[in-house]
């Protein structure tokens, strides 16, 4: 595949490497890597609707996949080496009820429901690409550190394909049982490190440098190529029109980075004529990007963001042993590995960053669920961010917005139950975060004796 290559994003380096190499950083300057393409040599369709036509040829596994249906936009692997399990069968869903909640016009608010992936989160979009590259490079062992969903995703690709073993590192902090149980069920060797996610990631990166183990965290540039297609499906859901805003929760910032790259490439290829704005939403307890963007005014600066600003904040975090803490475990991350790429995406998309409280996250999660879409807490951040940007007037009543629902509700049922039942035992087990006492959408089960009269009374029919 000599029409694709790996390339350092540092403008003072721009070193290139063959796609057959297994790298997670530039060999010269340790910068992040992109997958770049020689577009003149790739038969990219001249209109986006040609991709849509592949729906009708879904017996072909590459057309069934919501990622590889767009394969010309991520053409780094020979077709016969692509590892797919039918990921990306997700749809954009209009939701007027939530539009009303946000004081927006009907037909303006859409949900991209990525919980409907094989492992229940958007991570499968990226993992199919990483698994493909692992296969291309002959890897027999793969690994990741995870707050849960990355491990569930990698484990399912390892199990279904049978191509490689899988090792998962988790921290000893919050991990939703729905996610951990998947990794165990799919046969991943699971190592629980005493430390948090950032510690586990540092450890697994070292291990993969020293041993022939293929790293599948989002520093892996191939993963982000797969995640670009989430934006293609958003456009497809709007009849190939470009929305005004994309809202996405930010953790390690792989998704935000991938979205920006997708739009930059589509614009460059002349497949879209404008780029939507991007809103990256942090949890208040894990708001490193928000701090950099809004407090330090750190910007992309054509690839030269101020290194002193970055190091001084990270050093301060180290000095005070600052740890991320939020109910939204999927975004409980202090040191987002894709920070620099996310700055680029925010530049490409004229983006904004906000942070929202745990209370807002769990209430919005419940609001989304009450509209019929079950998602996990992190996904609630998209709607919480939308409400905030609406109240600031940054997002208008007529703007067309897509909120990315990153993971499925059943990943974290403990929190949902705690929210609805108000069970003091669940509060004691700290399933409901400290400081959260309001559960305005709580819908607890009503306990009655097995007696018709009591049941009718409970139903208000007596
Ligand atoms: C991984 C994950 C995120 C965070 O995505 P990043 O690309 O790391 O910013 C958000 N929500 C869910 C459900 C996730 O699994
Ligand atoms: Zn470099």
Which tens digit of pLDDT belongs to each residue from 181-215?
Answer: 999 999 999 999 898 888 898 999 999 999 999 99
How far does residue 386's CA lie from ligand 2's centre (Å)? 36
Going by alpha carbons, the residue nearest to atom 2 of ligand 1 is 330
In the chain, which stretches have pLDDT less than 70? Answer: 1, 174, 423-437
How far does residue 249's CA lie from ligand 1's centre (Å)? 7
How far does residue 189's CA lie from ligand 2's centre (Å)? 33
Per-residue HEC secondary structure of the chain comes to CCCEEEEECCCCCCCEEECCCCCCCCCCCCCCEEEEECHHHCCCCCCCHHHHHHHHHCCCHHHHCCCHHHHHHHCCCCHHHCCCCCCCCCCEEECHHHHHHCCCCCCCEEEEEHHHCCCCECHHHHHHHHHHHHHHCCCCEEEEEECCHHHHHHHHHHHHHCCCEEEEEECCCCCCHHHHHHHHHCCCEEEECCCCHHHHHHHHHHHHHHCCCEECCCCCHHHHHHHHHHHHHHHHHCCCCCCCEEEEECCCCHHHHHHHHHHHHHHHCCCCCCCCEEEEEEEHHHCHHHHHHHHCCCCCHHHCCCHHHHHHHHHHHHHCCCCCCCCCHHHCCCCCCCHHHHHHHHHHCCCEEEEECHHHHHHHHHHHHHCCCCECHHHHHHHHHHHHHHHCCCCCCCCCEEEEECEEHHHCHHHHHHHHHCCHHHHHCCCCCCCCCCCCCCCCCCCCCCCHHHHHHHCCCC
Ligand 1 atom having least distance to the Cα of 257: 7
Kind of pairing, strands 33-37 and 4-8? antiparallel
Residue 43's contacts (CB-CB under 8 Å, 6 or more residues apart) are 72
How far does residue 18's CA lie from ligand 2's centre (Å)? 14
How far does residue 248's CA lie from ligand 1's centre (Å)? 9
Nearest to 379 by CA among 394, 390, 363, 393: 363
pLDDT of residue 176: 82
Residue 192's contacts (CB-CB under 8 Å, 6 or more residues apart) are 169, 170, 171, 172
Q: How many other CB atoms sit within 10 Å of the CB of residue 371?
A: 18
pLDDT of residue 420: 87
Going by alpha carbons, the residue nearest to atom 1 of ligand 1 is 330
Residue 365 CA: which ligand is closest? 1
Ligand 1 atom having least distance to the Cα of 148: 15
Measured distance between the N- and C-terminal CA atoms of the chain, rounded to whole angstroms: 72
Return d(Cα 156, Cα 123) in angstroms, integer.
11
Ligand 1 atom having least distance to the Cα of 376: 13
Residue 259 CA: which ligand is closest? 1
Ligand 1 atom having least distance to the Cα of 114: 13
How far does residue 381's CA lie from ligand 1's centre (Å)? 11
Going by alpha carbons, the residue nearest to atom 5 of ligand 1 is 251
How far does residue 28's CA lie from ligand 2's centre (Å)? 5
How far does residue 218's CA lie from ligand 1's centre (Å)? 10
Return d(Cα 216, Cα 383) in angstroms, integer.
29
Ligand 1 atom having least distance to the Cα of 250: 9
How far does residue 34's CA lie from ligand 2's centre (Å)? 11
As for ligand 1, residues whose beta carbon falls within 6 Å of it are: 121, 123, 149, 218, 249-256, 330-331, 376, 378-379, 406-407
Residue 9 CA: which ligand is closest? 2
Residue 326 CA: which ligand is closest? 1
Give CB contacts under 8 A, 24+ apart, made by 264-271: 264/348, 265/37, 265/73, 265/228, 266/48, 266/73, 266/231, 268/39, 269/39, 269/44, 271/44, 271/47, 271/48
Going by alpha carbons, the residue nearest to atom 14 of ligand 1 is 330
Nearest to 233 by CA among 350, 371, 87: 87
Q: pTM for the whole thing? A: 0.95
Nearest to 115 by CA among 408, 412, 411: 408
Contact 251, 331 (CB under 8 A): yes
Return d(Cα 286, Cα 274) in angstroms, integer.
31
Ligand 1 atom having least distance to the Cα of 258: 7
pLDDT of residue 433: 58
Architecture of domain 91-119+224-414: 3-Layer(aba) Sandwich (3.40)
How far does residue 11's CA lie from ligand 2's centre (Å)? 8
Helix axes 413-421, 358-370, angle to 10 degrees: 90
Ligand 1 atom having least distance to the Cα of 227: 7
Pocket test for ligand 1, best of 287, 407, 410 (most atoms within 8 A of CB): 407
Pocket test for ligand 1, best of 331, 333, 342, 405 (most atoms within 8 A of CB): 331
pLDDT of residue 435: 55
pLDDT of residue 352: 98
């Amino acid at each position: 595949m000599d029409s694709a290559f790996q390339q350092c994003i540092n403008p003072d380096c721009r070193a290139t490497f063959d796609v057959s190499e297994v790298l997670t950083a530039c060999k010269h300057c340790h910068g992040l890597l992109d997958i770049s393409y020689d577009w003149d040599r790739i038969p990219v369709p001249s209109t986006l609707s040609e991709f849509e036509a592949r729906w009708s040829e879904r017996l072909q596994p590459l057309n069934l996949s919501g990622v590889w249906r767009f394969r010309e936009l991520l053409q780094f692997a020979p077709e016969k080496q692509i590892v797919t399990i039918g990921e990306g069968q997700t749809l954009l869903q209009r939701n007027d009820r939530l539009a009303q909640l946000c004081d927006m016009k009907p037909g303006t608010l859409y949900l991209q429901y990525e919980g409907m992936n094989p492992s229940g989160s958007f991570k499968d979009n990226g993992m199919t690409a990483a698994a493909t590259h692992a296969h291309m490079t002959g890897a027999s062992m793969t690994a990741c550190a995870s707050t849960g969903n990355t491990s569930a995703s990698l484990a399912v690709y390892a199990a279904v394909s049978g191509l490689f073993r899988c090792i998962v590192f988790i921290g000893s902090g919050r991990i939703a049982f729905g996610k951990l149980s998947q990794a165990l069920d799919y046969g991943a060797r699971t190592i629980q490190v005493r430390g948090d996610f950032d510690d586990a990631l540092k450890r697994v990166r070292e291990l993969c440098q020293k041993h022939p183990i293929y790293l599948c965290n989002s520093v892996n540039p191939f993963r982000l190529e797969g995640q670009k297609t989430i934006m293609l499906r958003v456009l497809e859901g709007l009849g190939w029109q470009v929305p005004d805003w994309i809202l996405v929760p930010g953790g390690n910032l792989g998704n935000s980075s991938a979205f920006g790259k997708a739009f930059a490439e589509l614009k460059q290829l002349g497949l879209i004529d404008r780029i939507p704005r991007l809103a990256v939403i942090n949890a208040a307890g894990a708001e490193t990007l928000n701090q950099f963007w809004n407090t330090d005014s750190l910007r992309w600066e054509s690839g030269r963001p101020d290194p002193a600003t970055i190091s001084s904040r990270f050093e301060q975090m180290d000095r005070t042993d600052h740890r991320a803490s939020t109910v939204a475990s999927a975004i409980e991350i202090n040191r987002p590995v894709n920070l620099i790429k996310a700055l680029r995406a925010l530049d490409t998309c004229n983006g904004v960053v906000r942070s929202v409280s745990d209370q807002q996250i769990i209430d919005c999660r419940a609001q989304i669920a009450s509209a019929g879409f079950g998602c996990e807490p992190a996904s609630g951040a998209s709607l919480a961010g939308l409400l905030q940007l609406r109240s600031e007037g940054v997002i208008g009543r007529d703007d067309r917005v897509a909120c990315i629902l990153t993971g499925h509700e059943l990943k974290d049922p403990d929190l949902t139950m705690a929210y609805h039942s108000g069970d003091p035992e669940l509060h004691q087990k700290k399933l409901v975060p400290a400081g959260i006492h309001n559960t305005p959408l709580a819908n607890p089960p009503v306990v009655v004796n097995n007696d018709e009269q009591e049941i009718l009374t409970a139903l208000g029919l007596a």
